[in-house]
Chains A and B, each alone.
With several copies, the nearest count.
Chain A
């Protein structure tokens, strides 16, 4: 181990992404970054700041507002041997590039009999709305998980963000990289040197014996807080972060559920036909013991802007805790934790306008 790695290197999620990309760009000239606003002074909430200065406008550039064609450009350049990182500041905008992503990127390797690879990273930010509304708040990764051929990762902390980004860039397939805006400000001690977080290996963030909570992206943080709340009433929750959704480490989840007998999937997305459905279905098919399950996610509505409704739109530590309680104690009256205790510090940092 080098001296450098022995000192703590506490960086934010945004810095972790930035560092992973910069380090890989230094050793691989084929890596480049494009997307709206990757080269301005804000640099995608800091995650691309400085890259254009170091690597030049040939390798870090903003594009016209042409998400569809630019996705095709990523694909074509990847087929030619480059390694594009295509950045979208909101996942909602991926709806403009579905044709290229679903009809070309996900299929090219198989459909052309292995003649081409499409090593590209599609970065897209999801996030709590803060009044941004229905078109700026969606987390649509389940659509991509429906279609074979695209890897999906949704790291929940700076360490995984850096390691997953390195793995994603080096992967020879399209990788959808899901980044929750509220996580950008969270920090972790992250190795300074490059490292890979392998896809398909879930992380048991906190052990527990009563209920398994599988939480995606920032729901990991919310669920860890829910775990504390549950702990206060003697319920011991195990929190699992799948990190990568495709491939999914279902074995780790099943093993946990076989131990606890209870599964709550907390997704940062709509429930219907979502990852929460898939995880529940796979667990039910694979578990060798009886299981009770529940799911949490966005309310089944377009995200409203007004705070009263918006607050109710998302799962939060209180709803996670009380849902877990109900799952374990269906006969008992509902329980809700003290709202004060349920608040999450990291959310206070985020204020608009966007």
Chain B
């Protein structure tokens, strides 16, 4: 177990620190692209990705830094992408919302809510044909479940028993709109179960709860090929919807609601379980990695203007 804790701590701490650094840099306009930070939501990214194999696939959203990193995406390529550099994960064409790393089986994020869901289902369709027991984990927010494409996707994936784990990161808000203004009933699991998909709700935010649920779902998909599973993970976005700051003063939510989540912080919780020197070592490693990645991003060249019209079509 201690192995797991070390690994998980490294993963959540790394994501947290990367995003904190992004937030610090942001006012400089070096990152000229909207950033949707996952600070506070790391447990969902890490808890699920921790049980995936290297060649399992992750599909995600514009709020995708955490999943990208948790699945093994390269930090240098990510920072360079945020800086708009030619060495970025998408060569500077995608920015923060369109991180991708096919080497690590990270499907690109989409800036249009819910649009990556059917794409992920299509990838799972191909994996099923391939018969190598690979699975897709597909992240999306609570808001995404309101789009018709979500229902069409779960119906098809269940009908064809596709190997896909749907992971709803329910942070209670779509931008500033609370669930009550958007969902006729609060129970998304019931909606999903009605399509014959096993669904589990995890309200604790606890990374081990998430990890265990994901592990059992993935195990079933790999051993029984029993079709899609669904996890609803409650979580909380600590910063504003888009951008580097907190926004508790803006009135749509209360800092008091957040405090239970601050107390529940997986970075702190996991950190506490580690010996002090282990923790320091990890923290130091992370800071060094971030420093290097920033240097890489800073020093990398911008794409040349002459490339603008190249590669619209694949050859």
Contact = CB atoms under 8 A, between A and B. Distances in A.
B243 A136 contact: no
A135 B143 CA distance: 18
Interface string B217-260: 00000000000000000000000001110000011100000000
A69 B148 contact: yes
A48 to B, nearest CB: 13
A41 B250 contact: yes
B92 A109 contact: no
Interface residues of B, number: 80
Contact of A305 (B33, B144, B313): B33
B153 interface: yes
Interface string B26-55: 100101111100000000000000000000
Interface string A27-49: 00000000011001110000000
A308 B70 CA distance: 30
A116 B102 contact: yes
B175 A308 contact: no
A70 B315 contact: no
A325 B58 CA distance: 51
Most chain A C-beta atoms within 10 Å of own C-beta, residue among B111, B114, B250: B111
A113 B303 CA distance: 11
A124 B277 CA distance: 55
Say whether chain A's binding surface is mostly helix, strand, loop, or mixed.
loop
Interface in B82-98: 84-86, 88-98
Contacts, number: 279
B64 to A, nearest CB: 12
Contact of A110 (B32, B120, B312): B312
Contacts of B181: 61-62, 64
Contacts of A112: 90, 93-94, 98, 100, 108
Contact of B177 (A37, A96, A301, A311): A37
B182 interface: yes
B176 interface: yes
20 contacts: A62-B182, A64-B159, A66-B147, A69-B149, A70-B118, A73-B156, A76-B124, A79-B123, A84-B122, A92-B111, A109-B312, A132-B33, A132-B97, A132-B111, A133-B93, A149-B313, A172-B313, A172-B315, A300-B312, A304-B303
